[in-house]
Every structure is written in C-alpha cells, then in structure tokens.
Amino acid sequence: MRLSRYFLPILKENPREADIVSHRLMLRAGMIRQQAAGSFSWLPLGMRVLDKVNRIIREEQNRAGAQEILMPTIQSAELWRESGRYDDYGKEMLRIKDRHERDMLYGPTNEEMVTDIFRSYVRSYKDLPLNLYHIQWKFRDEVRPRFGVMRSREFLMKDAYSFDLDYEGARAAYNRMFVAYLRTFERVGLKSIPMRADTGPIGGDLSHEFIILADTGESAVFCHRDFLDLKVPGEDVDFSDDAAIAGIVREWTTPYAATEEMHDEALWSGVDEGERLAARGIEVGHIFHFGEKYSKPMGARVTGPDGKDHFVSMGSYGIGPTRLIAAIIEASHDEAGIVWPQSVAPFDAALINMKAGDAACDGACDALYAALGAAGLDVLYDDTDQRPGAKFATADLIGLPWQVIVGPRGVEAGEAEIKDRRTGERVAVPLGEVAARLGGTPADGTPA
Ligand code: 5CA
C-alpha cells in the first residue's frame, strides 16, 4: 500500500478527550473515529488490526472445537421474556420498538438467541458437545463509557456458547475455552492471568476473567508472581484429551489470583510477601458456567443415554476484540507511539523513501516494495513528499515492527537501513538482502 493513496488521518496534536494512552494513540494514529459517546468507526489502519485479532480468535476457537455462526444484533424481546432477563437487565439494555410496536432490543449478549437455535434443532445427547460462537457488535448503554474502545457502548464481542449433557461435559467445555483463551491472548502478544470472578447479569456459579496487567486497568487485581513464569500450551495441545486440558486449567488456577470483588484477605495473607503482585488490570475475556439457567426456562433439552430428557448444561465465553486492541496498546507502546506485536501489526513494515522524487531513491524503493511483497510481507510504502523527520514520526507513531529506510547516500552505497521499532536498533543491509532479512522473521518472536 502506498501511503500517498492510503486513508490515514494522523493527528498531530494530542486529542484532549483521551485520558489513557491507548485511546490517545488510536486517535492520533488514525485507527478510529468517535461518532457519539462510546461509539466508534474503525478506519483502515484500525480495521487491519481488528481483522488480524479476529483471525487469531477464530483460529483458536476453531482449534478448541467451537463452530462459527452469525446471529443478528437486533433481538426480539420475547426471547428475553422467556429467560426472565428482559425485566432484569435494566438500563444497560437499549430497548427499541419496531413499526408494529413490537418490543425489540439491541443485543448486549446472546444467551437467549443461541439457546433458541439449539432447542430448535438438537434433540439427542449424541449431538453433544456443541459450542457455537460468533463475532458480532453488541450494545450496552454503559453509565460511563470511557477510555475509547476500552469501555464503549457499541463494541465487538466474540461470544461462544457451549451445550452439554451434564456438569462433567460442561466443565470439560469450560476448560477447553479456558485453554483457548490462554493461547489467544499469548498470540496477540499479551500475558493474561485468569482470575476467579463474579458472574453479574450473565449468572452462574463458575467464572473466570482473563486479566492483562496494566497501570491504567479499571480493576485492582491480586495475584501470585508464579503466573508470570507459567508456560502457555503450544498449538499441539490436544483438545480432545479432557484430562490433559483439565490439568492445564489446574496449573493455571492453583496460584492465588483474584479481582477486587473476589479478593480474600485471609488467602492473600498466606501468599509469601515477596511473591505478591498487587496491580491493576484490564479484563479482556470472561468465561462463565451457568448450567441450566437458560436451558430450563427456555426448554432446551436432549434425550440422554438413559432415554430421559435432560436440560442441557451451558456456559458462555466472551472476548472483546475491540477492547483487546486497546489493551495491546496499553501493554506495548513508548513515548513515540504504538509498538505492535508482529502477529497483529497492521502492516509488517514501513518502507520510508527519504527523498521521494529522486530517481535513484524512487527506483530503489519500487524494487524493495516489489521484493518485500514477493517475500509475503505487507508493506506500507511512504512515497509522500513529507520531510524525513515527519515520515519517521509517522512510522514510529503507527508502530509497524520494521522500518526500511531508503535515502540518497544509502542508495549510492547500495544499502537500506532496517530499524527495529521495538528496540530502535538500526542496521545497514545491502538492498538485495532486505527482503530475505525480514521475510519470516518476527521482530518480537510472537508465535505465528
Ligand atoms: N455473554 C457473556 C460471555 S459471551 C458476556 O457478555 N460476558 S461479558 O459481559 O463479560 O463480556 C465479554 C467481554 O466483552 C469482556 O470480557 C470484554 O472484553 C468485552 N466487553 C464487555 N463490555 C465492554 C465494553 N463496554 N466495551 C468494550 N468491550 C467490552
């Protein structure tokens, strides 16, 4: 992509409405535009990151056995009356009437709708386990939308819903999502810590929040330092082996970890003082087991091996991809701008032509652009007539893992400079070797 043709509305000044660094940088880098309180458009650069994050989420959901569907954003109030949540949900739910005066709502979550799909088709335990997910916009009329896409009113959610014959099956389904979440967050470059959590309006008796440690996090969190060294399972993890998956969950739930609401001073005082980590965190995922809370009132049942009807045991599993992107930036930036983990970077490299219009520089850049593309790299080519200083500032701000810098002196020597955005290290490399140098070498080692 040539920058001269790319819609990248960079802001020079720090936007005054932004209180935290991720919001500030997302606005400055032209990733998002605020449309109303807590509502944002995603511009091309932001959209690329969102696509990459969603792809990783999908891969890990699919690997763990979940199947993708897509449910509507607007739901009928009837379904919510069946579960009893229409009256319970309160002001966070945006209620709408259609032209026939029928009560509708903009979905804040989809337990009811997916339970309706399930009960319409599934009759036998032989069709279980089943886990259906979608990635869809949600609306919650938050009292205090703030921090940009971190706590917005309209936001994207990956929500998965599992259906099993009994508690044991549902617990195995919960464990699979637990492990899928560990992998998902690691792949986007984050260290996540699962913490026992309150279930709130979703309900149920077992729940974990996946928390990213960050000073700007909304929740106070308390955990054992051991979490910092725990190893996330690799892509060869066997999701069909319930015992192995349960073992991983055990390992990740044994050291003390709790959010403020669930914090237990007595247990905390049992943790060695030097091992205690009291910090702030961002909730990027939340998983719930709630058994028959929806299946019973909505009549979602299957025939079991005993020939009898059983209400299915359910769970739901959420990740906010839009919030996740803000969390990645909170965890990975410096004073010059964003520092993208390779796995979610909007482009792999910036190609910076220091003297656009100079025949030798233009020629070298065109050749590099073609070679990098052929090596499978996604390149944003800064072919504009801006001064080099402004180009460097833009490249640092938007945070692509590599910068390939081409200037008249270098070209004369047959070289370009490669800068690693994270470390700031620069090396001169022969023009013909740049593509080989960057092709397939993550700047930061995030797993593919
Ligand atoms: N039905 C369940 C799980 S699918 C559910 O709704 N869970 S939730 O309420 O915890 O939300 C799931 C995830 O959505 C959260 O972990 C968070 O990452 C994201 N999320 C929730 N509220 C917002 C918000 N206001 N802005 C941005 N992301 C949000």
Ligand 1 site, residue 162, Cβ cutoff 6 A: no
Distance 146 CA to ligand 1 centre (A): 14
CA-nearest residue, atom 20 of ligand 1: 320
Domains of the chain as residue ranges with CATH? 3-337 (3.30.930.10), 347-439 (3.40.50.800)
For a pLDDT cut of 70, what percent of the chain falls above it?
98
pLDDT tens figures, 142-166: 999 999 999 999 999 999 999 999 9
Question: Which amino acid is present at 444?
Answer: D
Do the beta carbons of residue 447 and residue 343 sit within 8 Å? Answer: yes
Query: Which atom of ligand 1 is nearest to 324's Cα?
Result: 18
Distance 318 CA to ligand 1 centre (A): 6
Considering the entire predicted model, what is its pTM? 0.96
Nearest atom, ligand 1, residue 159 CA: 4
What is the spatial distance between Cα 180 and Cα 183, in angstroms, rounded to a whole number?
5
- Encoded amino acid at 364, one letter: A
How large a percentage of the chain has pLDDT more than 90?
91
202 lines ligand 1 (CB under 6 A): yes
What is the Å distance from ligand 1's center to 156 Cα? 9
Mind listing the pLDDT tens digit for each residue in 35-92?
999 999 999 999 999 999 999 999 999 999 999 999 999 999 999 999 999 999 999 9
- Report the separation in Å between the CA atom of 392 and the middle of ligand 1, taken as the mean of its atom positions: 37
What spacing in Å lies between the alpha carbon of 77 and ligand 1's midpoint? Answer: 21
pLDDT of residue 443: 53
Q: What is the pLDDT of residue 201?
A: 77
How far apart are the CA of 369 and the centre of ligand 1, in A? Answer: 40
Can you give the pLDDT at residue 448?
A: 43
Is the C-beta atom of 192 inside 6 A of ligand 1?
A: no
* Alpha carbon nearest to ligand 1 atom 16, residue: 285
Within the chain, which residues score under 50 in pLDDT? 447-448
CA distance 176 to 250: 12
Cβ of 140 below 6 Å from ligand 1: yes
Give me 276's structure tokens: 């205690």
Report the separation in Å between the CA atom of 343 and the middle of ligand 1, taken as the mean of its atom positions. Answer: 23
Angle at 383 between CA 381 and CA 389, to 5 degrees: 95
Cis peptide upstream of residue 15 (ω within 30 degrees of 0)? no
* β-bridge mates for residue 97, sequence order: 103
Q: Give residue 310's pLDDT.
A: 98
Q: Ligand 1, closest atom to CA 283?
A: 16
